[in-house]
Structure 1
């Protein structure tokens, strides 16, 4: 079943649907609307825009038989910068931007999945109402009112969602309550959400705005932030964000800082709870915008401060509200900026966004979610790294700076016992595992919800972007058997008392763990740096010392291939060094053996900065090509290739 066959069937099933093929004007416009050009770099073969929820249901029903070979991504508003989370290379992007509309009834606001928050605030402002929606049109887990009302997801009273069966259901506290809770943190794992229903509340004008100041004052602002979070009876009306960073457009010679303090009531005088953040000195007085404003005005100001249609990436961790931890993180970030300051039109920010104790308490009392954050942990602070830059050739350096800085922050916070595992999904990048960060219990609940509402794994296999494929890995090997961010401290491959191989691993959240097994399969770059702790023999050392760089080399796992599992397959060229095929190329496909129809794959890129998403697309395309060759051979000695059902997610088993 080919992509063209799937498109033809979709057009017949949805005669009023809007289908845009690559190369058309509408396609070009739609594919440029993402927050980040890292998403726009991906070029789907087709973009389909449904006009109704019934169109979405028809899409799911029609695409399902093709899901082994034809993949899709789901675009809501395109505001999450992770490549592949809302777009896909060479397949179909399901774009929900026509599913708009804002309706207020019985203190509930119903919002189409393709709507922007700006339109929601326009409607609510005229009614004197508020909602725990995004601070801007860009989306997010925190709102101006989170200290008082909890996370944004805690205020969703109903989801209208299309399941893998094509059935349209409502999920709320009364109907499909398990699905309602699971969707609060599940991403695209469980269905396509077509409408969100939020609780509203009376809301008038409030204090808030931007304060720009200088780096020397940032340590004092960290102290003020922690003091505000940890004081007895901390206000439920505040929402605080502080950040520091670098922008050549603002000041090419120094780091600058920004406070964004909010108080959700219009008191006569500046509220004492935000005075320390609004009046920090010295500051750039003419850029201070703290004043009384409407919710609509506050959200518009936040939106204007952001950037779009540039190269953009977010990463985050969560820590306890501890001055030493936050200051160390800030120092780590500042120290790492040097190599990327020269990137054209670059802006880099290190942001601190609190999860106050009142937020965690309200969240716990609101019916539950999938995030795993309990009041006993708080108060907490989200440490967010944001980067914006212009040129693709700076991608590798910028992303490396962010990843290295984040890893150092995690290590430091862990050493202080202030690291909290939670990673917010909308601010996570490919090397992170937000679903795993929810904890084993919540992860298992999401796994059970996936089995119940998507028993055939459509959204795991057919919608591979973002963090969706994580759940299917848990289904294959079990939650308790996955150790994230772990490394080998020592190994014993001979003379063990059990007769089995032994590996002593240091893990992110389980401490030291002794692993035993009959065999060890390594799917990391085989460089000497990565193999420390394995006590290589002299012949192994001689082999692996030749791997001086792993750039452009990918390994991964693919499921559901359908080939004869007693045969390994290799791709070779006749007149190249070591007979390596002309890159980019897949040059090995071999059965794992321990899991039915699971295959290890080796792929070589022609560009060391190739993204994980593009590498996946190449791999899937090359397997499709192999399938065509096998059909041409009329089954001569090989089973027909049914197509990859799953491909492992970047940051777990696919690495470059």
Structure 2
């Protein structure tokens, strides 16, 4: 009875925190509901229970149904960095399990949500209005921002940054996974263009990480995911940007071979003109009951069909939405074209040397695997590619380097994305196993043909993919683990923070420094 009174009034949490601060003794582990009750005492009015409208609204705003159907014991909405600090300090002291959601765009279950064993920190209120430095060279924004929030402010000044290509994507997940944007061929990953991170460590400490302060953490956060701390603010370099030529075009599937061959040439030409982006999807269209090609294109100047697009102008699109626009409009246009939006979803990715025939063969294998299920509710699938030119790796090095294993000597690559969407939970098994079979075929065949690259683009990956091991080399992985040990010495974030992509650790949460890569 007395323990129940302590928990419901929040007195237990206050006593335990005071005891820890006074004596340095770890507090007793609390069950998830008790953790929520304690948090409600720390942040009254910011903890939402499953019966509340705010809880349900946050849950329903996830990109995929798998994430939305997870039911944390409560959801906590910090308003600022100080709130995040108090939450992490409390969670660490009481061994409370949690997840962190910024944009919630990751599709796989548990990427940024948790079940009844913990609570979810929803960062959507930690944003404010993006602000520019006095000389307009740096834009600062909270981790709960969406890219549309950032671009709207920058557009008024004819500026942009290396951000996402869909307006609704959250900045946090994008940047902590590297981030490939419209400007990446010229300036590297989004994370290569961060001047400073404001980050909360697991003990509640608030620090800034940049080239002068905590420079090792600054480097590690460029592929940080959920390993080092909760980033609450990003300060990013800006670039001048006026109107662009871009939009979408749709083509008949018969044009696939020729379009992919042109895309190989396009990728090569990015070495000379890095102002272009061209993404291409071969997709099943359930509305038309046919296959279709969907392209997303942008040239960072107001010039239609520049030399970079040589040969593409001869194709006749079924639908042509290209035009002179601003980048903000294009990100919203890409958002509307996204087939996902709250259904069941699985994304898987791999990287390989730019090769038209390989992608055609990958598509053909996808037809074999998915066609039996085309009549099921909401089934949509696609295999997409986008260029990762060799110069992206060199741009990253020029900006101080990052943990990824990408090297200019590897040549021009394509990042491939398998997307599958469906509506009926009873189809989870067949859709997931079919997607996994397609990825297995792709990896095996790419290795056989000498096209395989170990790099896994985190923002397209599923939780089943070994991102941290494959996307780094041995030396870099060891360095990341050393940085992790400095800022989370007890491995608390491994034990308590669910989701994201973790650095390899033993069951005792000691770093693994001799990971076997022979099967990768």
Q: Output the TM-score relative to the length of structure 2.
A: 0.88
Cα distance, 1:220–1:149 mapped onto 2, change above 3 Å = same
Pairs within 5 Å for 1:193-208: 193-208=231-246
* Superposed displacement of residue 458, structure 1: 1.5
The answer to whether the Cα contact below 8 Å between 1:83 and 1:466 also exists between their aligned partners in 2 is: no
Q: How far apart are the structure 2 equivalents of 1:202 and 1:170?
A: 26
Cα distance, 1:320–1:10 mapped onto 2, change above 3 Å = same
1:75 pairs with 2:101: yes
1:97 pairs with 2:124: yes
User: Which digits, 9 at most, give the CA deviation of each residue in 1:14-36, with x for residues without a partner?
Assistant: 34x50001122211111111001
1:213 matched to which residue of 2?
251
Cα distance, 1:471–1:442 mapped onto 2, change above 3 Å = farther
The answer to whether the Cα contact below 8 Å between 2:505 and 2:511 also exists between their aligned partners in 1 is: no
1:263 pairs with 2:299: yes
1:422 matched to which residue of 2?
455
Larger radius of gyration: 1
* Superposed displacement of residue 275, structure 1: 4.6
1:39 matched to which residue of 2?
67
1:632 matched to which residue of 2?
none
User: Which digits, 9 at most, give the CA deviation of each residue in 1:231-277, with x for residues without a partner?
Assistant: 5953211111111010211x20x21111222111113x431312534
User: Which digits, 9 at most, give the CA deviation of each residue in 1:530-575, with x for residues without a partner?
Assistant: xxxxxxxxxxxxxxxxxxxxxxxxxxxxxxxxxxxxxxxxxxxxxx
Cα distance, 1:400–1:276 mapped onto 2, change above 3 Å = farther
Q: How far apart are the structure 2 equivalents of 1:203 and 1:429?
A: 33
* Superposed displacement of residue 382, structure 1: 0.3
1:50 matched to which residue of 2?
78
Q: How far apart are the structure 2 equivalents of 1:278 and 1:87?
A: 44
1:329 pairs with 2:365: no
The answer to whether the Cα contact below 8 Å between 1:447 and 1:474 also exists between their aligned partners in 2 is: no
Q: How far apart are the structure 1 equivalents of 2:227 and 2:54?
A: 29
Which one has a larger percent helix, Structure 1 or Structure 2?
2
The answer to whether the Cα contact below 8 Å between 2:36 and 2:73 also exists between their aligned partners in 1 is: no
The answer to whether the Cα contact below 8 Å between 1:150 and 1:360 also exists between their aligned partners in 2 is: yes
1:123 matched to which residue of 2?
153
* Superposed displacement of residue 109, structure 1: 0.8
Select between 141-150 and 330-339 the one with higher mean Cα deviation.
330-339
* Superposed displacement of residue 308, structure 1: 1.4
Number of residue pairs the alignment of both structures matches: 477
* Superposed displacement of residue 477, structure 1: 7.3
2:13 matched to which residue of 1?
none
Unaligned runs of 5+ in 1: 484-506, 510-656
2:474 matched to which residue of 1?
440
The answer to whether the Cα contact below 8 Å between 1:320 and 1:418 also exists between their aligned partners in 2 is: yes
* Superposed displacement of residue 74, structure 1: 0.4
- Ranked by relative contact order (alpha carbons within 8 Å, sequence separation 6 or more), the top structure is 2
The answer to whether the Cα contact below 8 Å between 1:21 and 1:47 also exists between their aligned partners in 2 is: yes
The answer to whether the Cα contact below 8 Å between 1:228 and 1:234 also exists between their aligned partners in 2 is: no
SS at 2:165 equivalent = coil
1:19 pairs with 2:37: no
The answer to whether the Cα contact below 8 Å between 1:263 and 1:274 also exists between their aligned partners in 2 is: no
The answer to whether the Cα contact below 8 Å between 1:262 and 1:274 also exists between their aligned partners in 2 is: no
* Superposed displacement of residue 461, structure 1: 0.4
Q: How far apart are the structure 2 equivalents of 1:129 and 1:326?
A: 35
* Superposed displacement of residue 315, structure 1: 0.6
1:132 pairs with 2:162: yes
Q: How far apart are the structure 2 equivalents of 1:292 and 1:391?
A: 40
* Superposed displacement of residue 439, structure 1: 2.4
2:420 matched to which residue of 1?
387
Q: How far apart are the structure 2 equivalents of 1:477 and 1:100?
A: 34
The answer to whether the Cα contact below 8 Å between 2:33 and 2:73 also exists between their aligned partners in 1 is: no
Cα distance, 1:473–1:196 mapped onto 2, change above 3 Å = farther
Q: Output the TM-score relative to the length of structure 1.
A: 0.70
